Amino acid sequence: RKEVEQDPGPFNVPEGATVAFNCTYSNSASQSFFWYRQDCRKEPKLLMSVYSSGNEDGRFTAQLNRASQYISLLIRDSKLSDSATYLCVVNIGNSGGYQKVTFGTGTKLQVIP
Amino acid sequence: EPEVTQTPSHQVTQMGQEVILRCVPISNHLYFYWYRQILGQKVEFLVSFYNNEISEKSEIFDDQFSVERPDGSNFTLKIRSTKLEDSAMYFCASSRGQSSYNEQFFGPGTRLTVL
């Protein structure tokens, strides 16, 4: 099983639609989780951290399910500007307490007018 | 808003040559990272650095790679003898703390092309 697994997509959705992505991770000791977005040939940009209690930032909602080892991202009222690749990032930490980060391959979202 | 900067934006080199990629992390951040992304593939961790020492490195980060913080602002990645397969986008990132809950912020990347 891959360390971090995402459906590569593409997800083609009309403007205004709600879309959800899932990401599964294999290491149960994983400590923290993030969603980044990456535009074509650009750097990953932090979208949001994912907390156990779930968190919301405007149209974006992230959830963590530790029992089933997955995180999710929900985007409501999709905008054309949401078109990007969404990267799931899992941090397992290392024995020295430092970050040890694994990226998923990303899920591509295309919002269509 | 403070940001991570990287130079050059694009580097073209011949196989076997040494390259140095430069990064200026966010000024109050103490932890620094290098990642690479081969075209069409996922972002891969190379190395993390704190207090002038490597704190973690991946199997990609072999003897051909080294990192350095030569002064108070720059953080560099050196590839001693480049190979064709080193062609990729190299991203520098920094975080304020070491805890796994500290978000990492990425620079715009250096596109390395090895001919």
Residue A95, pLDDT score? 66
Angle at A78 between CA A75 and CA A79, to 5 degrees: 135
- The pLDDT averaged over each successive group of 10 residues in chain B (115 residues) is 93 97 94 95 94 91 95 93 97 85 91 98
- Residue A8 CA to residue B7 CA, distance in Å, equals 30
Q: Give residue-wise pLDDT tens across range A14-70.
A: 999 999 999 999 998 888 899 999 999 899 999 999 988 889 999 999 999 999 999
Q: Which residue of chain B comes nearest to A90, CA vs CA?
A: B100
* Partner residue opposite A32 with nearest CB, options B31, B100, B111: B100
With an 8 Å Cβ cutoff, are B100 and A31 in contact? yes
Q: Closest Cα to residue B106, out of B37, B11, B25, B19?
A: B25
Phi, psi (rounded to 5 degrees) for B85: -75, -5
Query: Is the pLDDT confidence value at A106 over 70?
Result: yes
Tell me the three state secondary structure of residue B27. Answer: coil
Residues of B in contact with A105 (CB under 8 A): 41-42
Rama region for A39: left / alpha / beta (φ>0; ψ in -120 to 50; rest): beta
Residues of B in contact with A57 (CB under 8 A): none
Start-end of H helices in chain A:
none
Residue A99, pLDDT score? 76
